[in-house]
A and B are shown apart, each in its own frame.
Chain A
Amino acid sequence: MAEKIIVALAGNPNVGKTSIFNAITGSKQHVGNWPGVTVEKKMGKRVHSDVEMEVVDLPGTYSLTAYSLDEIVARDFIIEEKPDIVVQVVDGTNLERNLYLTTQLMELGVKLVIALNMSDLVLSKGVHIDEAKMQEYLEVPVVSTIGSTGNGIHGLLDTIIERSSDKRVYGNTFDYEEDIEVRAEELEMILEKDPYFAHYPSRWFSLKLLEGDENILRKARGSESYPKIKNVLDNLDPDSFESRIADQRYGTIQFMLRQVCDINTSHLSGSDMVDRVVTNKYLGIPIFLSLMWAAFEVTFTFATPFMNMIDIFFAWLGEVTVSLISTDWLSSLIGEGIIAGVGSVLIFLPNILLLFFMLSIMEDSGYISRAAFIMDRVMSRIGLHGKSFIPLIMGFGCNVPAIMATRTIEDSRDRLITILVTPFISCGARLPVYVLLAGAFFGRDAGVVIFSLYALGILVALLSAKLMRGTVLRGEDAPFIMELPEYRIPTLRSGIIHMWERGKIYLKKAGGIILLGVVGVWLLASIPVPGSGGQFASGDIYGTTSSLLGAIGMLIEPLVAPLGFDWRIAVALLFGVVAKEIVVGSMGVLYGAGTNEENLAGILAAGAMSPLVGLGLMVFVLLYVPCFACIGVIKRETGSWKWTLFQLFYGTGLAWGLAFLVYQTGSRIGLLS
């Protein structure tokens, strides 16, 4: 039987851990080029030279001091689970900052292997690293890798196996100034005598105590020897010790780098050149807006022929199926229910695929981090910093991972505000609603309308954050420290994987929750209201106010009537809380798209809805209650029903207010009526 070892992949954010993880395990985890892609650990397996490796991809962390949630996840895994080997993935283009974590991993006494990643970019930056010397200084094996191409992975696996069977303890430790060493030794003696601390490396634990690490201090408070520990810590200033310890670690790293690195300082790399332009004070934001416009224009325009192909297919399928089924109710279920509902949603698959392909290009190239950087000036005016902008941009794809990505934000108030405003960012699930309505009412300007809705989402998110910062969540401005990763040429493979992963989710939703939703809508639209005298699924009941659905719709219609919405829209919005795509599916069922010669957009454009109502509906869908999955993740990440409900009521109130403004103003001035 093969020997089994656990390998943890650790490292700073955005150094290519997930690329290495994918290259080792053959997984297809999403790889992005910005800090914070991995916020939860991921597992995979690989058998190499008869050794079974369980590989764990940990969230990126700059140090082993628990400043943010993802850092706690990484640190706790290394300390509590005690992996056989820790592979630290190091960005070769930014050694100084990366090696800071190395010093802490070495103090932790783990069996360490360094994967010197992005070795191709190192050379392109005019840097030469002497790996042999580096290995000698650190007493840790160093292997060059290029995660994106898989270069060096075999060598890395060989080294992992070799290192795991080596029982000797390697890794240099660092000597600090005398008073730090004296205190550390005192603490080590106390810790070693107390079985409560047997689980922790005493050298590392004592240094963390001296640094004033809150998480470690909390653990120490639970021990019997805490009074003795407190005695050692009482007369010192933890802030001063923390900065002195950090200074000495950096001093050692800088000394080593002078010996192992040859850097050409008069070189302006390709990344530097692009950054001079895209982060320019005056041009940065206009360039960002232009690129976003281009992405939405392609998403809408290039997808149109493919949407039409799917539309033609479903029209044909509807006709054939209905003509083959003689039972009225079954024909109605399949034609008016399933084909009209699910078909109306599947039409938008090309838009979803294109949007995610484009977002993937922006992420993989490293541009997303620049977007956060240039938006920092805007963000700082509302009391947040650029780091909060990354989850917002991620929200263009899906709000659920975007809310999880807020874990990289250290300040709890900043994080809470970002969670609460992220649902205002228009996700991929809302795109079908826009494409349907903008396509139906605004023709070739549909791309501009969709772009404006995305811009409105950002604007509402920023203004809401400003409002919250000034009222319910007041706090100090946090400093913005964010690394800008090297630009990389996005690979077609990565783009297709990302696109396909999201496409699969969309298809699964269409075949699962959306199918259930539209069947539910059909069922309620087919059941007659008691006393109406109609029959189940008969033509005079189906989709009218004499159906149960009609009755529910009429009940809630007064709430949305001031926005120009009728009962059918009210019902579609109600079902849309389950998943936003169901809004389109429900409309397909309620407007009879499956059995009509025209598709849903054609029916709406022919007079079933006015362009003004369409515009108001798009604004409402952008801002009202997020989907169930999103509500769940808001509750989980805030840990509070109070804030979750606040988001739901605040968002829906805002949606109602803005849609009201659109409809009433438009009606009064006779615009788009």
Chain B
Amino acid sequence: MNYSYQKKEALFAALAGVLYVISGTLHIVEGLGADTGFAALLFVQADILGGFCLAVIGMVFLYGLLEMRRGIKAGMSFAYVGILLSIIFMAVYLLIMGGNLLDSFIVPGDYEGWNIMESLRPGIYLGLLSLMAAFSWKGRFSSNGISVREEV
């Protein structure tokens, strides 16, 4: 069996999975009213549902890691779909950021002192990590899919 592809995906899934689960958990904990001390440093907001979404993305990566470690080549699907989901959520957070920026021009009082650092969210910078992975593996993202012949 050739696992050269899988090693990279497994490593990425482990890294992204852990980062997403941690930042999702921090969002949830902050949302429950506790002060984690990471809010300012990691741009984490008190947001239970947003945190849940990030944790779900992390779980997708980690589930894929488990499958790949068991030698299931199709487990790579989880890494690819995790990347897709994290890019979707990065786009969502960017839209929210853009909306707030636009609103600060229309109703200046609402978002006075708006700046990019305050609008940054883990969903955006972690999404950039996935975006880089997507670019480096773009050849494998075509709808032609992958061959799973080794398993058959």
Contact = CB atoms under 8 A, between A and B. Distances in A.
A132 interface: no
A267 interface: yes
A305 B106 contact: yes
B12 interface: no
A270 B49 contact: no
A357 to B, nearest CB: 11
A282 interface: yes
Interface in A297-354: 297-298, 301-305, 308-309, 312
B35 to A, nearest CB: 18
A268 B92 CA distance: 29
A308 B145 contact: no
B100 A268 contact: no
Contacts of B142: 124, 270
A236 interface: no
Contacts of A193: none
B56 A268 contact: no
Chain B interface mostly: helix
Contact of A298 (B49, B64, B95, B152): B95
Contact of A278 (B76, B81, B106): B81
A294 interface: yes
Contact of A282 (B63, B81, B147): B63
A665 interface: no
A280 B96 contact: no
B63 A290 contact: no
A304 B56 contact: no
Nearest to A264: B147
Interface string A244-287: 00000000000000000000011111111110111010110011
Contacts of A294: 53, 88-89, 92
B32 to A, nearest CB: 13
B127 to A, nearest CB: 12
B145 A273 contact: yes
B107 interface: yes
B92 A267 contact: no
B145 A305 contact: no
Interface residues of B, number: 44
Given A272-B145, A276-B77, A301 B53 contact: no
Interface in A590-635: none
Contact of B74 (A126, A268, A308): A268
Contacts of A268: 74, 77, 145-148
Interface string B9-36: 0000000000000000000000000000
B99 interface: yes
Nearest to B55: A286
Contacts of B103: 304-305, 308
B128 interface: no
Contact of B81 (A277, A298, A302, A305): A277
A95 B64 CA distance: 32
Interface in B85-142: 85, 88-89, 92, 95-96, 98-100, 102-103, 105-107, 110, 142
Chain B CB count within 10 A is highest, among A126, A265, A268, A308, for: A268
A126 B84 CA distance: 23
B52 A290 contact: yes
B148 A297 contact: no
Interface string A164-189: 00000000000000000000000000
Contact of B92 (A280, A297, A309, A312): A297
Contacts of A270: 142-145
Interface of A: 121, 124, 126, 265-274, 276-278, 280, 282-283, 286-287, 289-291, 293-294, 297-298, 301-305, 308-309, 312, 448, 451, 487
